[in-house]
Amino acid sequence: MTGSPAFTLATLLSIDTPKTCVVLDAMTGHRTDANRELMAQGTGNLLSAIFGGTPGAGTMGPTLLNLNSGGQTRRAGMISGSLILAAFLFGRPLIALIPTAALPGILIVLGSRMVDRESFQLLRHRATILDFTVVLVVVVVALVYDLITAAGVGIALALALFMRNMINGSVIRRKLYGDQISSSRQRHAGEKAILIRQGRQAVLCELQGSLFFGTRDQLLTELDADIRNCRFILLDLQRVQSFDFTAGHVLHVICKQVQSHQGYLLLCSLPASLPTGCSLADYLKQIGILRSGPHLQIFDSHDEAIEWVENQILAEATLGSAPNPILLSLDQVSLFSSIKSQEVLNKAKGFEKIPPAWFRFFTRSRPVWSQSWFGDF
């Protein structure tokens, strides 16, 4: 067997075995290593072909029959295979006596046992109707055409449902503006007032899920108003699970748009590992996003990014004008925190009652060691 028939059979058997493992795991509560199963299956089929045998796979019918008969361990599969080999070598005369009409009845019984009746529960909920539609379409295609076509259609429909779920899910987990968050750096009251007043210049968006061509328009739509109105766009990428070239192009577009009104795009908490095996920072460097100029900034955490934005806002708020001195009361100074301002004022008022003549007498006849002290008056 060469060419297309061999490839078709290999594809069918490679799909049939993991499918059987899924059903078996659901019935037994155990987990089967599908990769190991496929490697063992390929090795067995290769050795079988060397000795003139035919290829096989872990099909549903014999597996369920073995399970319903009480088989629970690996020995059940080995015993089943040994009995089939013994029947083929020594029991052919007895098997030939079985009426051919009995075989369809056996297949009908096995087929009825293989039907997953719980699948009809998918029709009870609106959210799972499409899942039942996939099952129904695969069954119809298998009956009308063949198993290979049915497997291909099932995989295509499953991918379509997966894409639908990824696109419908929001890629923005949370959005906060500058007047709603602050960095861990301590600011005095005047700076806090400026940051609250100018807070709408910055927005922090926590992204999640997969950033790819399917979520490109969604991300740009949700950030469109903020890109036009905010000067600082902070994107927290900590919860991003996958990232492709289209998502990188989206970041480049956002950076160009904020740069047009002297804004900045800040990326923070970049994942250290992506499904591709490299970090997001290395991937952005490879596709050239990090060469977008000073209007793109990278930070290890969103707290560092927020502090950088705060510094920029405060610097711009005081640019071109001398900063007004910040007057602090005594109780705001750590050295005099235990002294109450009102008590000091009350004592200071006592000096107003001293006659000016007495004041001149003390200042004229004071000793040398006290001149510096009275000089303050």
- What is the pLDDT tens value at each position of the chain, 377 positions in all? 555 777 777 877 887 788 788 777 777 777 778 788 888 888 988 888 888 888 888 777 777 777 777 777 778 878 888 888 888 888 888 888 888 888 888 888 877 777 777 777 878 877 778 888 888 898 899 888 877 788 788 888 888 888 777 777 788 889 999 889 899 988 888 888 999 999 899 999 999 888 888 888 888 888 999 999 999 999 999 998 888 888 888 888 898 899 888 899 999 998 888 776 778 888 888 888 777 678 888 999 989 999 999 999 998 887 645 455 555 555 555 555 565 555 555 555 554 555 555 445 444 544 444 444 444 44
One domain for residues 343 and 301: no
One domain for residues 159 and 190: no
**Distance, CA of 123 to chain centre:** 30
Residue 153, classed as helix, strand or coil, is: helix
Work out how many domains the chain is built from and give that number.
Answer: 3
One domain for residues 239 and 352: no
Looking at residue 359, what is its pLDDT? 45
One domain for residues 138 and 151: yes
Looking at residue 48, what is its pLDDT? 84
One domain for residues 134 and 263: no
DSSP 321: S
pTM to 2 decimal places: 0.58
One domain for residues 150 and 228: no
Q: How far apart are CA 51 and CA 65, in angstroms?
A: 28
Looking at residue 347, what is its pLDDT? 55
- Taking residue 210's Cβ as centre, other Cβ atoms within 10 Å add up to 17
One domain for residues 179 and 154: no
Residue 170: its H or E element: none
One domain for residues 124 and 223: no
Task: Assess if residue 154 is contained within a domain.
Answer: yes
Q: How far apart are CA 62 and CA 19, in angstroms?
A: 14
Looking at residue 375, what is its pLDDT? 44
- Taking residue 222's Cβ as centre, other Cβ atoms within 10 Å add up to 14
Looking at residue 74, what is its pLDDT? 77
Q: How far apart are CA 3 and CA 10, in angstroms?
A: 11
Task: Assess if residue 290 is contained within a domain.
Answer: yes
One domain for residues 310 and 188: yes
One domain for residues 164 and 259: no
Q: Degrees (nearest 5) of the Cα angle 278, 280, 281?
A: 105
| Residues spanned by the domain of 162 | 116-168
Contact criterion met (CB below 8 Å) for 68 and 60: no
